[in-house]
Amino acid sequence: MIATHLVSALRRFRSPQGSVSVLVAAALVPLIGMLGAGLDYSRAMVSRGRLDAALDAAVLAAAQAAKAADAQNQSKDQIEAAAKKAGEAAFVANDAVAGNVAVEISPALTNRTVTITGTYTADVKTTVTQLIGYPSVPISGRSTASAELSPYIDIYLLIDVSASMALGATTADIAKLTSAFGCAFACHDDVKVKGTQYDSFQWAQKNGIRLRMNEINDGIADFVATLQKQGAAKQRLRIAVYSFSTTLTKLVGLTSTLSAATGNLPTAPDLSHEGGDPKVIDYAGATHFGKIMPDFAKEVGAGGDGQTAAKKLVIIATDGVQDPTRSWTNYVELRPQVTPFSPADCQKLDASVSVGVLYAPYLQMPWDWGYVATLGQPSQIGNRGTRFDDIVPQLKACASPGMFVDLGTTSSVASGFKSLFDTFAQVRLTR
């Protein structure tokens, strides 16, 4: 068709004597050749754009296939084979624009990162330039994608078991405790509730009264159960459980046996006066967050990249209030030491460690003289309001960005644990 138009155009330049203007003809040939080459090149670029898009889709599909194979605990060779197969299939599904296409999808798994490299070559047939010896235009492309497979993660639970964590879990529970023995806290102190053989902690447990400590322990059990449902990913998780009041206690050392975390849950400290020095016993119920943190930081150590060494997540479950001893009730000079946690204590952990805070809300009790004498007093850090008003801001400053959860705003303690883990791992736990 192009040749026919060219002959027709040249005929219009024929002279009355039948001659053709050689000069005009000589000018038209390269011009038409350039226009044809531009057309062929444009078609080649359109084809390349479509193949580039197909290759991008292919490497992404390969990366997703690698993650799926990893979740099934497949071997390195199996993961790479699954990625290659999925990538090539995705490319073929999108390739309908050029002939003689050759594609190569090359997965490489290093530590816990899979990198997918895709390349293709193709020939786009020409129309005009084939007349001058160029039957096709070669094109090629390259694309890469990478994905983090389920990383190695160490989870450290640090649970507050000081006397204040034996506060009733709800206002209804507090009302039941107060009605029974005039105190909102159920202390494990061997002081018998009138007419019973139980101290207030034991009595609360026998009578179905929920304490904050009960809620936290149930949350730990549910959280661990969720972790155990994570398929092969759970094989790259380890967990440790510590409790603290006056001292730090290792309940479960770092282990990949996740169920071990529910076999030794935190318990209330024994505050029994029987056979002991009352001053020492009072000291046992204290909350010494600042003092235990250096030792805890040594236990945790530094976090890794999740590939060659485990990333580390610390979850602190607490009401965020520390006190020197329970004897502050008798010694006025100790009451200023009943105060919110200091963010500086959390900073004793290595900077590579992520910190999540699970806040069990400390309930305002303006009717309680002890509350008024301590947390009801003005802020000690220059803020407006009381020490109570400082609790949440101080705990938020303690936590890594986005990793503070107020249990008063969640459906359950377990959902709070899960939320912190989700934020840290950037994945969604399956239910």
Same domain, 354 and 225: yes
Give 186-233 pLDDT, tens digit per residue.
765 566 777 777 777 888 888 888 888 888 999 999 999 999 887 766
Q: Are 324 and 336 in contact (CB under 8 A)?
A: no
Predicted pLDDT at 41: 65
Q: Which amino acid is at 113?
A: T
Shared domain check, 158 and 135:
no
Q: Is the pLDDT of residue 412 over 50?
A: yes
- Its pTM stands at 0.69
CATH number, position 191 = 3.40.50.410
Q: Which of 162, 168, 260, 185 is nearest to 220 (CA)?
A: 260
Structurally, how many domains does the chain consist of? 2
d(CA 221, CA 60): 37
Q: What is the chain's Cα-based Rg?
A: 36
Task: Give yes or no: residues 179 and 109 share one domain.
Answer: no
| 3 state DSSP class of 233 | helix
Same domain, 333 and 188: yes
Instruction: pLDDT band for 40, please (50, 70, 90 cuts).
Output: low
Give the model's pLDDT for residue 10. Answer: 47
Closest CA to 391 of 420, 364, 419: 364
Q: Which of 90, 115, 148 is the last residue of a domain?
A: 148
Helix, strand or coil for residue 89? helix
Residue 274 has pLDDT above 50, yes or no: no
Residue 12 placed within a domain: no
Whether residue 431 is contained in a domain is answered as no
Assigned domain for 6 exists: no
**Partners of 249 in the β-ladder:** 243
Among 319, 317, 266, 324, which Cα is nearest to 290's?
A: 324
Query: Tell me, what amino acid is at 240?
Result: A
Dihedral sign of CA atoms 31, 36, 42, 48 in order: negative
What is the predicted pLDDT for the residue at 31? 52
Are residues 132 and 159 part of one domain? no
Residue 329 lies in a domain: yes
**Residue ending a domain, choose from 93, 114, 148:** 148
Which residues are CB-contacts of 235 (< 8 A; sequence separation ≥ 6)? 73, 256
Among the ranges given (37-46, 97-106, 249-258, 287-296), the one the predictor scored with the smallest mean pLDDT: 37-46
The yes-or-no verdict on residue 425 having pLDDT over 50 is: yes
Residue 158 has pLDDT above 60, yes or no: yes
Is there a single domain that holds both residue 85 and residue 208? no
Query: In the 8-state DSSP scheme, what is residue 367?
Result: T
Average pLDDT over residues 80-105: 84
What is the structure's pLDDT at 281? 47
Report which of 229, 177, 224 is spatially closest to residue 200, judged by C-alpha positions.
177
Lowest mean pLDDT among 124-128, 224-228, 342-346: 124-128
Name the residue among 241, 252, 199, 238 with its Cα closest to residue 216: 241
* Of 94, 129, 148, the domain-final residue: 148
Judge if 105 and 185 occupy the same domain. Answer: no
Say if residue 209 is in the same domain as residue 103.
Answer: no
Query: Does 409 fall in a domain?
Result: yes
Strand partners, 318: 359
Co-location of 189 and 143 in the same domain: no
Chain segment 232-270, per-residue pLDDT in tens: 667 789 999 999 988 899 999 999 999 999 988 887 666
| pLDDT score of 396 more than 60 | yes
Q: What's the distance, CA 210 to chain centroid? A: 30
Beta bridge mates, 243: 159, 249
5 found inside a domain: no
More confident residue, 392 or 182: 392
| Per-residue pLDDT, 24 | 47
Indicate whether 2 pLDDT > 50: no
Per the CB < 8 A criterion, the answer to whether 375 and 389 are in contact is no
Alpha-carbon gap, residue 180 to 163, rounded angstroms: 18
Q: What is the pLDDT of residue 168?
A: 80
Average pLDDT score over residue span 415-429: 77
Domain annotation covers residue 246: yes
- For residues 138 and 226, membership in a common domain is answered with no
CB atoms within 10 A of CB 142: 12
Alpha carbons within 13 A on the beta-carbon side of 85: 10
Whose tokens are 């992520």? That residue is 354
In a domain, 8, yes or no: no
Domain hosting 76: range is: 19-148
Q: What is the pLDDT of residues 15-38, one digit of tens each?
A: 555 455 555 444 445 555 555 556
- What is the residue-averaged pLDDT of the chain? 81
Residue 23 and residue 46: Cα distance in Å, rounded? 36
Which range has the worst mean pLDDT, 7-11, 113-117, 184-188, 203-207?
7-11
Same domain, 218 and 129: no
Please report where in the chains the tokens 């890594």 appear, as a residue: 400
Task: Tell whether 163 and 24 lie within a shared domain.
Answer: no
**What percent of the chain shows pLDDT beyond 90?**
37
